Every structure is written in C-alpha cells, then in structure tokens.
Chains A and B, each alone.
Chain A
C-alpha cells in the first residue's frame, strides 16, 4: 500500500513539475532577456548548423552575457522613465478619484434606505455587461473629440475611475454592511453629523476594505492598455503599457528594452498580487459558496 502511494506521488511530482516549468518558463525567459544586454529576440546567436546541444543551450533561459545595460538604457536612452511617470500619475489620480466616488456611494447604499437604491445598485451591475468596444468609440468621441481631453491625464483618469466604480462600490458596500450600526447610533445621539460619522468613524473602520479598493483602482489604471493607446496619441504621453508595446509592436523590435521594462512594470504588481490573491479569490467565489 505504502509503495503504491509513493509511486503515485512520483507521478504527481512529474506532472506538477512539468506544468510548473511550463508556467514559469516565459517568466524566466523575460528575465533572461532583460539581463542579456541585447535587443534580439533570440537569447544567443546559433551557429549555422546547430547541434541538438547547441539548440538546447539556445532555449535555456540564461543570457549569453549578463548585463544590466537594458535596465540602465531603458531609463536613460528611451522615454521609458517618462512613460512610467505618466502611468504613475494616472494610476494615483485614478485611485484617489475612484476611492472617493466608491466610498461615498457605497456608504449611501449600505446605510440609507432610499427610493431608487435597488435600481441604482442594479444599474451598477448591468453596466459591467457593456462590451468594451461599444464604450470605446463613444468614449473616444466624447473625451477626445468633444471635450478635447486626448493626450491628457484627466481624460484617462475620469474614464478609469468610473469604470472601476461598480466593482469597488459592491465590494465596499459589503464591508460597510459588516460594521455594526450601533456605533453610528450612539454618535448620532451625541450630536455628530452624517459627515462626521462618515469621515471619523466609518472610513477609519473600513481601512482594510478601502486599501483593497485603492489597490484595485490602481491596478486597473496601471495595467490598462486599449483606452490608453487610443487616448494618448503622442509618444511623450504614452503610459507604460502603451510604451512597452511600442518597443516590440509594428516597426521596431527592441526586445531587450521590452523585457527590462516589463520586469520593472510587473514587479510591484506581481508582488501585490501574490500577497492579496486570497482576498481576490474569496471575493470572486463568495457568491457561489453557501
């Protein structure tokens, strides 16, 4: 019996290890490329008629020469620093605006019973069903053509913040609902105004949920690619995603810069994700587990 079990585990390990290799190979490949100091998509130059071993060396995610040249040059010689700055400003502004809008709305949905409450919450849900491209064209016409906000931070920020609202409101409302109402009642008896209660009691108590909301808004803006590529036409206003595509899409292929940039852009996001994934998953499956 014990013998069978160990053998099973060996097979399990074989399966798991092969999938793990598949899962991390592209990541290692980008890392190797970013430290290779070169721009081509192949890691090493293969001889004319390569042998099996030489080809195997070619696919190993290890650069031929280690170098941080790509990292330094992407900052100094390319516009990447500027694009990162654009992304950072847009994401931070989106976070601030998104959190403000989501907190106030979620507070009202959680604490007040008013006519139109259910309709409003339903509207938020339905809006999640609108396909991106259907919104893309009108938003392009409204923001860029009518309001003239193409190539500006503001145009992107207001669109990002509003698209993030429904998810944030639903999440925050759920958290606000768990804060006992007694605290507010006693504050009202003590003569506190609604605003005071909201600012002094509810918001501090909801800090963890607000942090998640802020992160979600930030990541929405940080990883968004399509709207940014349409709104930001001039190279100086690119956000990091648009810039990264600029390195390898279309006419140029500077894979080294792309890899270095990708590593810089992904590191914070991946770290945060790995930290927060359990909350995300519990949020996603909350509806299904009874």
Chain B
C-alpha cells in the first residue's frame, strides 16, 4: 500500500471517528440541556403558582388567608398542599390534620428556620442593594414533586413563608407534551459523508496535491457535518424553549382567570405592567410573559441567546476536539498511538485497574471540586439546573476579596474570626509554632540520645516515640480530656501550685495553645528519629579532627553538625510543614476551633463550611484556594530543596 492509499484510509477512518465523537458529545450536551430545561420548566411553573398565592394572601387577615389558600388549592389538582408560616404561627394549611391556625410544634422547627433564612436573605438583598441571596427555595427530592417556599408580605413587610407542594407529573394545562422531540434528521450528514468518499476516490491528481486536497476535504466535510447537525439541534432547542414558554403563558392565563373569578387577583393584567408571578429564584420578574399573558418574540429570542451562550461555547469546544482527533488521524499520530497500545498491551493491562481507580476517585473528584467552586451549590439548591447554579468567580471574590479583618469599635478592635485572612493567619501561626517546637524538641532529644556512653538509650528511644505510634485521633481526644476545664489533669496541676484553673477553650490564645500542645506532643518523635538517624551517620573522626584543631563544642555544632544535618533536616521540615498545615484531626477534635471559630485552620474551616453550613460550593472554592497555597508552597519548596542540594 502506497502513501496516498494509506492517507486515504486514515482520512476515512479519522473522519468517521471524529464525526462519531462530535455527534455523540453534542447529542449528550443537548440531552443534558433538554433535561435541564425540563427541570427548569416544571420548577418555574411551581414557583409561579406559589408566587401567585403568596400575592393573593398578602395583606389579608388570618381567616381570609386560610379561605383563599384552600379555595385555590381545591381548584388546581396539581397543588397537593399549601402551608403558611408566620413567625411561630402556622397561619394556614390545606391539610385537615394540621388544624391551622395554631402555634408551630417542636418538631416543626425546620419550618421556622426556613422562614428565618428566607427573611435574612431578603434583608441581605435589600441592605446591600444587590441580589445575592435566593429568596425562593426549591426542593425536588422525587422527580416532578416540587416543594416551593416563597416569602409573603403584609403591608410591604416580610410576614412569613408560603410552602406549596406542587405535582407536575400529571398532564399539563396546555395539553401538549412540549418535550417529546421530533426524530433527528441524519440524511444530510450521511449524504455529505458519502459525497466526500465519492469525491475522494474520483479525483486523480498528482500525489502531492492529492495529499493536501485529501486533508482539506476531510476537514471541510467534518466541519460541515458537525456544524449542520449542531445548528439543527439548536433550532430544535429554541422551538422547545418557545413552546415551553407558551405553555407557561397558557398556565398563567388559566390561573389568572381563576384568581380573577374569586376576586383574589392582586395584580393588574394590562399590557404595560410587570408579571410578578413568573419570577426567578430571587423573585425578580423574568419578563418573558407580559402581565396580560402575551409572549413577545423579541424577548424570547434574547432570552434564548443568553441561555444558549454557555451551550454554544461547549459545542465549539467539542468541534475543536473532533477536529483535533481528525488531524491526529491525518497526520498519523493516531496510527502511532494504536501501534503503541498494541505493542504495550501487557503493560497497559497491568496499569489499567489502578489508573482507572485513580481517574474515577481522585482526578475526577478533583476536577469536579474545581467545577463546583464556580457554582453556588448548597444542600438546599442541589436540585436546581446546573446553569442556574453557575455564578462564576463570586465565591473566590467573596473569600479573597473580603478584607474586613477587624472592626474598630469604642471598646477596641474586634477581630472577624470568619474572615479568610484571619484563618490563614491562624494556620500560618499554627504551622510555624508546631514545626518550630517539633524541630527544637526533636533536635534536643536527638542530641541527648546521641551522647556516647549514655545508659538506657534503647528504653528512652522506645518510650519517646510512643506518641507517634498512637492513632492521632485518639491522641487528640485524650488531650481534649486532659484540658477539660473542670476535671482535666492540666488544670489540676495548675491548682496544685496554687494557680487558678483556666477555661482552656474559651480564650483565643489558650485554645490555640491546646492545639499546639497536642500537636507538639505527637510530632516531636518524628523529628527526633529523623535527626537521630542523621546524627548517627556523621563520621566520628570529623569531630575528633575538629577537637584536635582546637574547636570548642559550639564551633563543632556550628560547623560540623548543623551543615551535615541540613540535607536530612530540610526535607523533613518541608514534609512536616505540609502535614501540619493539613492537620485536620487535632484542631477538629481538641478545640473544635473554639471560641467562635477563632482557632479554625483552613482545612477545618472548609470542612465546617461544607458539612455544618452545607455550602458545598463555597467550601469547594475554599479548598481550591488551599490547594493553590499548597501548590505555590510546593514550587517554592522544590526551589529550596534544589538550593540545598547544591551546597
């Protein structure tokens, strides 16, 4: 087979594979987008109905509220139940067993908390005059069964929350299933592909021109097919979005008529006013449906453009990927890769299990964590479509841009313990003091143990490394017990010498000290053993020679011991800096970051953000910042290590 034949073959193969990859990935993206759209559609519907009812019960008294709620709920079978909570009161409920109005029970505290959370969110948005906190809360634990919570007002003031269970699994008011897609047409792509094959075999040219032509033709056909397919799907998506919007409009009109008939309609229905029912999660009107129920094509198109921007960028990336695959085939890289795979099949088989495990459980989570940090995902909004959670760099801005480290008041300076830079400061202080203690104590003990003719060395050594052997979470809990303010051993010792007991976990410095004491206790044996090993490898005759030359003890330490310890000590310090920086267990288990989070180090803080505040995305961003710090340290550390090697 000559070169031209070879090229033709790999062009056809490459074209087929790259098209397959591109179409498959694009289809996957469109599927994801469509399911996102479906999610958004039904949640928008639910929010609209909840908003409508919240507006209808604003400014009404308790009986009237109860009546209106139950009237509306009876009219629409999709509204499964509605409850209204104001302060500690269950104002209204459509469930007979609730017997509203009454006080909230103890087991209903979650509702009170939710109401409080939404009130705070509203106030934050008002106070800062920006829209940052979501005031509409959505939960969709089973698909189609949506629980929406919105605030309702009285005299323009926050009065409480309205929670609606909305079932979207039944038939829609507008009737048609807007999401049943028409079958895709693959005719044109297939025809193009065949045409390309035909053209390729028909042309008879000089070999050199043929090579270029084949490459160009393959690339052209690929781009044509990919772009045509994506355009087709984009148009279909736009149709779907339009239809979905019309369906919402139909729902809106139907509901508005019902409200009107009952006299509950609280908003004007003329063309010029804003539709307050159909809002986003910050209760800002979407503006897609006018108050009279009409849909404007222009706003629609603008909305779709905005919505599909992200998707279009991803599609562009997919096209680039496909083109890259095709070029790999055209320039022979693919063939070489396959050959390598075949030749080293044994090796890849052996590596594969571990590699796959690492990719799935280490590298994918890592990438996912980074992605997560650009969203505002929390435990409460993880049901939302991905695009609605995407917030760009906001998390990083909030973490790094918040420089209100302290406040000046009449009583002096008040530190803000929740601030990132405070935590960073604590972490740095924590790392430096621990490593210093570890190295100093370790060095002293190693020097002592290295003394010639010392009795009982072996026993000392075993007893002194005991702290290293015990699992560190046990150590941490033990020291927590010893620092117990009332019965703890340490306060007993203080009192033994006539001192006052200390409430260890109540003061910033004393609490910091508990962590350092614990960590110092468990980390000095490592340093001691490492330094001892290095000391023992220093040849004795060096000291003897120095002694003969008249060097005193200090000079011997300064000019022999320390320089020779350096190659061992520096890597050990580098290592223990990272260990201490990431020492989660001690802070978390001994002081728990008390008082008031003042002694949190970066990673315990990230943990608490994630698993006590449930702000997953914010915690992911926090962890990304930690990773960046470690990365910078890593680069810096290689420099240092290299520098010491050249000594």
Interface residues of A (CB under 8 A from B): 5, 8-9, 12-13, 15-16, 19-20, 22-24, 26-27, 29-30, 33, 40-42, 52, 55-56, 58-59, 100-102, 104-105, 107-109, 111-112, 114-115, 117, 120, 123-124, 127, 129-142, 145, 158-159, 161-163, 165-166, 169, 194, 198, 222-223, 225-226, 230, 241, 244-245, 248-249, 255, 258, 262, 265-266, 269-270, 273-274, 277, 281, 284-285, 287-290
Contact = CB atoms under 8 A, between A and B. Distances in A.
Contacts of B611: 230
Contact of A141 (B358, B472, B616): B616
Contact of A9 (B355, B364, B451, B582): B451
A22 B620 CA distance: 39
The 5 closest A-B pairs by CB, nearest first: A134-B623, A112-B347, A105-B354, A42-B487, A108-B350
B521 interface: yes
A115 B603 contact: no
Given A134-B620, A139-B361, A165-B357, A26 B610 contact: no
A104 B353 contact: yes
27 contacts: A5-B453, A15-B445, A20-B464, A33-B481, A58-B492, A101-B353, A101-B357, A102-B354, A111-B347, A114-B344, A115-B340, A123-B358, A130-B366, A133-B603, A134-B369, A162-B360, A162-B362, A244-B477, A245-B473, A245-B589, A258-B477, A262-B478, A265-B471, A269-B470, A273-B468, A277-B465, A285-B533
Contact of B568 (A134, A162, A266, A289): A289
B630 A129 contact: yes
B421 interface: no
Given A41-B488, A108-B347, A269-B469, 4 more contacts: A105-B354, A133-B626, A134-B623, A284-B575
B235 interface: no
Contact of A270 (B348, B455, B463, B470): B470
B129 interface: no
Interface in B324-368: 340, 344, 346-348, 350-351, 353-355, 357-358, 360-366, 368
> In terms of DSSP, what is the predominant structure of the interface of chain B?
helix
Contacts of B353: 100-101, 104-105
B430 interface: no
A15 B448 contact: yes
B478 A133 contact: no
A29 B467 CA distance: 13
Given A15-B448, A41-B487, A129-B631, A112 B346 contact: yes
Nearest to A131: B626
A26 B473 contact: no
Contacts of B348: 108, 114
A23 B346 CA distance: 51
B250 to A, nearest CB: 35
Interface string B568-579: 101110010000
Contacts of A269: 469-471
Contact of A133 (B363, B488, B492, B606): B606
Interface of B: 340, 344, 346-348, 350-351, 353-355, 357-358, 360-366, 368-369, 372, 382, 441, 444-445, 448-449, 451, 453-456, 460, 462-475, 477-482, 484, 487-489, 492-493, 495-496, 521, 525, 529-530, 533-534, 537, 567-568, 570-572, 575, 582, 584-585, 588-589, 603, 606-607, 610-611, 616, 619-620, 622-624, 626-627, 630-631, 634
B363 A165 contact: no
Given A15-B444, A137-B620, A245-B477, A127 B533 contact: no
A123 B369 CA distance: 18
A244 B476 CA distance: 12
Contacts, number: 268
A15 to B, nearest CB: 6
Given A139-B365, A265-B474, A132 B464 contact: no
B448 A131 contact: no
Nearest to A22: B521
Contact of A135 (B362, B441, B616): B362
Contacts of B607: 133, 136, 226
B444 to A, nearest CB: 7
Contact of A104 (B354, B360, B589): B354
A244 B473 contact: yes
Contacts of A13: 455-456
A137 B372 contact: yes
B482 A158 contact: no
B473 A223 contact: yes
Which of A23, A123, A258, A269 gathers most chain B CB within 10 Å?
A: A23
A284 B526 CA distance: 10
A242 B468 CA distance: 20
B627 A134 contact: yes
A23 B525 CA distance: 9
A28 B481 CA distance: 13
A165 B471 contact: no
B351 A104 contact: yes
A270 B466 contact: yes
A215 to B, nearest CB: 13
A259 to B, nearest CB: 8
Contact of B471 (A23, A29, A133, A223): A223
A3 to B, nearest CB: 14
A33 B630 CA distance: 40
A290 B564 CA distance: 12
A102 B354 CA distance: 7
